[in-house]
Chain A
Amino acid sequence: MRVLLIEDDALLGDAIQAGLKQSGYAVDWMKDGVSADQALGTEPYAAVVLDLGLPRMSGLEVLRRLRSRNVPTPVLILTAMDTVDDRIRGLDAGADDYLVKPFDMGELTARLRALVRRAAGTTAPVLRIAGVELEPAAHSVVWRDHSIELAAKEFAVLHALMLNAGRVLSRGQIEEQLYSWGEEVESNAVEVYIHHLRRKLFPELIETIRGVGYLIQAEKNTGAGKHIPDERDA
């Protein structure tokens, strides 16, 4: 799960980046509005954490430009500005959530999970497909009443595939969700993680579409895993 963090304060940005990494996110960190705008124009992010008081381009402007391009990526505004007017302005500019500094790291990650969940069209906090239960908040995977130990990257791959159940994800798309900028992408890493997941769970869970990518079949009537185009797309 790759997240874009836009925050100009060095210490706070460092802490949020570390905190999000602890929760299994890959984090790109931009310190001004213009580079954030550029990053949003080129990279696919699962969610954006946006500070408003930014140099070079204000956070609200970044948000407006993002929405004017019809990008549905969920955006959480994280700011010191706490008046009702500020919140209204932020939400009306296209933000999905608003959190005021100082905040609790646990709340920030929980809100991000909720945003990602909703963006994927699911409401259940626990993803269930073919008997595999994935709980993003607890970072846990349960299969046949057994807790399955997964490495952070393995978990992220499984999470991405389950969120997009019924849809084929290319290797590149999965890599984009795994690595932040500057992180070295190991060759064949995705194949290795898929291999591990098949071994730890069961081989039939993840199907390989030769030359295209990987897929977890959506289950009917689970309410989860089916990718519904976001209503904000319209």
Chain B
Amino acid sequence: MHRHGSLKRRLLVLTLATVVLVWIGTAAFTFYDARHEFDEILDAHLAQSASLLVVQSSHDLGEVETEHAPLLHKYSRRVAFQVWGAGHVLRLHSVNAPSQPLADREQGFSNSVIDGIRWRVFSTWDESGNNLIHVAERSEVRDELASSIAGNLMKPLLISLPLLAILLWVAVTRSLHPLVRLAGEVARREPGSLAPLDAGNAPREVVPLIERLNQLFVRIEASLQKERRFTADAAHELRTPVAAIKAQAQVARAAAGDEERIHALDNAILGCDRASHLIEQLLTLARVDTLGDGAIESCPLRAIAAEVIAAIAPAAMERGVRIELMEGNEMTVRGNPVLLRILLRNLIDNAVRHTPSGTSVRVGVSGESGRIRLSVSDNGPGIPEADRVRLSERFYRPLGTSASGSGLGLSIVKRIAETHGATLQVESRKNESGQIDTPEDNKGLRVTVMFKS
């Protein structure tokens, strides 16, 4: 079948071929069945004719010498008989009978070919045992009869086949109309249109297709909307730092003294740093999807954590924050090492930003009942329960946070966790007994990522 073969043509061809095959099969069966029945009936006739001759011969044939019997019916030309006196003297025979014996056998049915003519023969002796009687019929009669019956069966097919083809074509066309209509509807749609297709009078077989299509449209619409919202949000988020840079620059230009000017310029530079951090984070978030398709390999989580900590530690030290990697064994996670590094960097970076100077950020990697637990804890102000739910929303910055964050860090972490089938948990820091470690710790935040091992 051609890849883009027509469903209509296929249906037509298959249906017509089936009809023809079934018809031919029926005709063949009828031919052989009729042939068999004719054989029986005609054989019975032969035997009957023979028995008549047997009765006849015992009375009259004594006087007859090689006599020709007249032909009485058009079919009688095809029926022949011979009466052989004493088995070897031809005493009586029909006009069309050959001169030599019609059969070698002397009793029962046999087939023979004489002068190129095929005969079906019934042979018997008469009651006196003096005369051997052969009654024969040309075999082609039987063939002709069976063929004529089979032919009569085939003839209507030949006539009706074109008619059938036309009717089928109309029927198939009409049946396929909903499909054609659907295809037309899809083809006529605006490229951007995601309106659902009407399943109103579609046939049952097509309804699942339409439903699936509509579900797909809904999903595409949702993801498009998410994308649009994200772009709009991103644009808004970029506006504020740009506004700050511009305003600071204008303040610097109008500044009366050096001190004021330098303060404004420093702030403008800070604003640029913040804007570029935001842009970096946006790009990272956009890349998570494409990177997520990358190679999955066994990643040593502790080693990656150590690597990330080593990179962040100097900047953290400057802020008076220590980062500690808690004791434990190496844990291996199936995933993308690039993404895991981004996840760890964001978590630790967040913690360092929010923990007060003089405290430390603790990173833990541990195995736990078939799962691998990565946790990052800080001693920062923590986040009230109500705000925690919204924490991983894009651009969400809880009150009181320094504006240095992009509001994207936990969104990125959540996305990466999702692509690794891991769960993200944000909680107030408590020790195992449920007690808060120390009074100063009660606001600290712990972010836990649970990987399947």
Contacts and interface: CB of A to CB of B under 8 A. Distances in A.
Contact of B264 (A18, A56, A104): A18
Interface stretch (B160-168, B181-189, B248-256, B369-377): B248-256
B244 interface: yes
B236 A15 contact: no
A215 B93 CA distance: 162
A105 B403 contact: no
Nearest to B236: A80
Interface of B: 235-237, 239-248, 250-251, 254-256, 260, 263-264, 267, 270-271, 274, 397-400, 402-403
A12 interface: yes
A81 interface: yes
Contacts of B246: 102-105
B276 to A, nearest CB: 13
B274 A104 contact: no
B398 A12 contact: no
Given A15-B267, A22-B251, A105-B246, 7 more contacts: A11-B248, A12-B247, A18-B251, A18-B263, A19-B251, A80-B235, A101-B239
A172 interface: no
29 contacts: A9-B240, A9-B244, A9-B403, A11-B244, A11-B245, A11-B270, A11-B403, A12-B241, A12-B247, A14-B267, A15-B244, A15-B247, A15-B264, A18-B251, A18-B255, A18-B264, A19-B247, A32-B399, A55-B397, A55-B398, A80-B243, A101-B242, A102-B246, A103-B246, A103-B247, A104-B246, A105-B246, A105-B247, A105-B254
Contact of A14 (B236, B240, B248): B248
Interface string A23-59: 0000000001000000000000000000000011000
B402 A103 contact: no
A162 to B, nearest CB: 24
Interface of A: 8-12, 14-16, 18-19, 22, 32, 55-56, 80-81, 100-106
A10 to B, nearest CB: 5
Contacts of A106: 250
Nearest to B264: A18
Contacts of A16: 247
A43 B240 CA distance: 28
Given A8-B403, A10-B402, A14-B248, A22 B240 contact: no
A51 B402 CA distance: 17
B244 A56 contact: no
B243 A102 contact: yes
Closest 4 CB pairs of A and B: A15-B247, A55-B399, A101-B243, A102-B243
Nearest to B248: A15
A80 B240 CA distance: 7
B260 A18 contact: yes
Nearest to A106: B250
A19 B254 CA distance: 8
A11 B399 contact: no
Contacts of B402: 10
B398 A22 contact: no
Contacts of B250: 15, 19, 104-106
B274 A22 contact: no
Contacts of A12: 240-241, 243-244, 247
A183 to B, nearest CB: 16
Contacts of B255: 18, 22
Contacts of A14: 244, 248, 267
Nearest to A105: B250
B243 A103 contact: yes
